[in-house]
Homo-oligomer: A and B are copies of this chain.
Amino acid sequence: MGCVPTPHFDSAFRQQLETLFRWRRDVRRFRPDPVSPATLDALFAIATSAPSVGLSQPWRFVTVADAARRAAIRANFAGCNADALAQTGHRAAAYAALKLAGLDEAPVHFAVFADPAPEQGHGLGRLTMPETTAYSAVMAVHTLWLAARAIGLGLGWVSILDPRTLAGTLDVPAAWRFVGYFCLGTPAEPADAPELERAGWEQRRDTIVLRR
């Protein structure tokens, strides 16, 4: 410790990093090609380098291979989505169709939860903001997302699910907080712009910055 020189990242790397950020996509159409267990394990290992509050690593990954559980999750999505449609109309219908495609086609599914009271980390840093355990899990997902894209795999985030029903389907500890459900696989098509941009629904804008 302390004797390893700080790495330098040159401009070529930084440019590629920006490209990676820009090309990381929320992928909804997958080829059926399997993802090897070794690749998946490597991605879960890379996720451990994400930041976490008090080094508590509160993220919990749950891979879902069982067909009955996948069907239950698809039904959960369809039910929640019917409610969403009633409220937000035709854009939501097309959005849901995209996400459903991902659930049907992606070779790998996994859910991510946050343990709200992990023993690891001794509770440091999360007293006033217990949601920092969920935030840590989100950064583990984002780390995995970027690493996956760098090896040509795409990830899609499904958030239209009832968390309580999902926890039951996956038989996880009741205290765990659901963060998201993810589809992983080889993208069916190159995507140089987000689906929502390509569909003309929304476009990326400048960051809003206030000065105080």
| A71: interface (CB < 8 Å) | no
> How many copies of the chain does the oligomer comprise?
2
How far in angstroms is the closest Cβ of chain B from A193? 5
In contact, A157 and B51 (Cβ under 8 angstroms): yes
| A170: interface (CB < 8 Å) | yes
Nearest opposing residue in chain B for A202, CB measure: B55
The 8 Å CB contact of A198, one of B1, B19, B80, is: B1
Main SS at interface, chain A: mixed
How far in angstroms is the closest Cβ of chain B from A19? 5
In contact, B120 and A48 (Cβ under 8 angstroms): no
In contact, B16 and A62 (Cβ under 8 angstroms): no
In contact, A205 and B20 (Cβ under 8 angstroms): no
Q: A16-B9, A120-B205, A193-B1 are in contact. Are A211 and B65 (CB under 8 A)?
A: yes
With a CB–CB cut-off of 8 A, which chain B residues contact A56? 202
Distance in angstroms between the alpha carbons of A161 and B131 in the assembled complex: 13
Distance in angstroms between the alpha carbons of A124 and B194 in the assembled complex: 14
In contact, B16 and A87 (Cβ under 8 angstroms): no
